[in-house]
A and B are shown apart, each in its own frame.
Chain A
Amino acid sequence: MKHEVKLPELGEDANEAASVGFWMVETGSYVNEGDELLELTTDKAAFSVPSPASGVLTEKCVEDGDEVSVGDLLCVLEE
């Protein structure tokens, strides 16, 4: 099953734009639900984004340094 991983929203008034710091997993690797996928930075802090599912990371849709917003597709996992 294909699983599209999107950047979850924080909240109505919250700052929801971030930039991609770096990926913590390589394309083709298997990740478990909850494993850290990538690091993002906002104005306030650095954040790790956990994987919402288990599977093989088949495609990264954003690269290091990209600006991302809530709802953007980050990567694709296949179970």
Chain B
Amino acid sequence: MASTEMATRPPETGDSRARAGLLAVLRNAWRSLTSMRTALILLFLLAVAALPGALLPQRSLNQRLVDQYFTDYPAIAPVLDRLGFFDVFAAPWFAAIYLLLMVSLVGCVLPRTIEHAKNLRAAPVVTPRNLARLPHHATATLDVGPDEAAERIRGRLRRWRMLETKDGPGRTISAEKGYLREAGNLLFHLSLIGLLLGFAAGKLYGYGGQVIVLSDGGQFCNTGILGYDSFQAGLRVDGTNLTPFCLRVDNFEATYLPDGQPESYRAAIGYQTTDDLNAGRVDQWRPYPLAVNSPLRLDGSRVYLINHGYAPRFTVTFPDGQKRTEEIQWQPVDATTYLSQGATKFEPPGVTDEQKRRTSQLAITGLLAPTSSGGKVVTSVYPALNDPEVAVDVLRGDLGLDDGRGQSIFQVDQSKIDSGQLVRVARANLVPGQSITLDDGTIITFDDVRQWIALQISHDPGQDVVLVFAVLMLVGLGLSLSIRRRRFWARLTPTEDGTRTVVEIGGLARTDRAGYGEEFDRLRADLLDIPDTDGSDVDRPITAAKDD
């Protein structure tokens, strides 16, 4: 089409021709970008591009699985990584596809919106000369005059857009219905854009983080990134502007079925809102029963209960009589029995000599069974805290805490063991109250076990926008798929004597095989008194076009 336009244009010279050529190229590019075919291809690309996001491990979901993939497939993993396959939904090629799709959508839908707005004000299409050519068609002669027949049609078509015109000796009525279909379609497509914008807002200005808090009095305040164990910031979040609030975990209770399947998790927490903090009400806590599926929502932030676990408490009595008590979370390693693993680390008190410190740091590492089987090898048989027992190694030496490298709180630095700087000095199974004595007289007591809960804190300023547009999208989809755009015409011709009227009706559905047959049949029955017993002067509708 563009080429025929070009051909009819007068010849141009030099610059202006080049410019016209460029314009034509741009216009062609725009046209093909906004064509249905392109939209279709982009939709396919989108589906295909998203698939590796489900089939390959993704950094954003589980870094550990990605690392595992690197060890399993050392040859292809780096290549995949360079191409962004472990971060599909942040990859430039993924963004390119959906952005192109959105551009295509805008380019396609905006002109259609304008067209539709014009259409809404336009009169229905005039009656075709030959109604018998339409897929739905019928004729009958009614025993009433043309005025009465027209009145009857107008009454029946009350909810249709209608136009009545003179036509030779008689008149015609054209009517159209189902404009909401196109409106729904446009609403649907435009909502997709709103959805994407809301999504983008969340990615820019949202943040989330996880933090483990000990039960029975542990606290957390959302004042900065440092309070979190891990934190995911939106692109425009630097962590200096978090909405402040504080939480205190008063109690945590989990119940299990006899086979160990969890039945319920419930944490009694207290919280202080930004207002509370600003007003200095720091000793009052508002209670909230935090549970799975029931987050705490405050000041645009949400707090979720996402995991729980155990923290053993150990007391070390040093040879000089000084005591130190530590209580730090151990990590569940078995999701059904909550067998946990961890490392509780101690600094010898009052040692100032660097050299001496580096030989006398202590770590208690090993396993914790909340309900121990009681055997020689500590295993857990049930996730609740019924018969706790730990199986621990006590290590002494240099924990590497001063090396300036980050350390896992659940483990000791393996390289220190390998290099002999950290040595095992005892191994024992302990139940609460039991202790071991080391060669230098240090006594280590396993006191008790406390529970901890893992909280997820989320902040997403875009999510309400996304919800609104998702609902609009659904409404638009429903309208556009359930409503049929259809046209209806009637030609009324009075008989010679003017007492009877020949009524010819025709119908055309404008949408893809969506069917009009039944409704047209009803119209025919209502307007032409069909089906009736004599029915002699009635054209049967053309069945080929019927939809069932």
Report whether chain A binds chain B.
no
* B interface with A by C-beta (< 8 Å): none
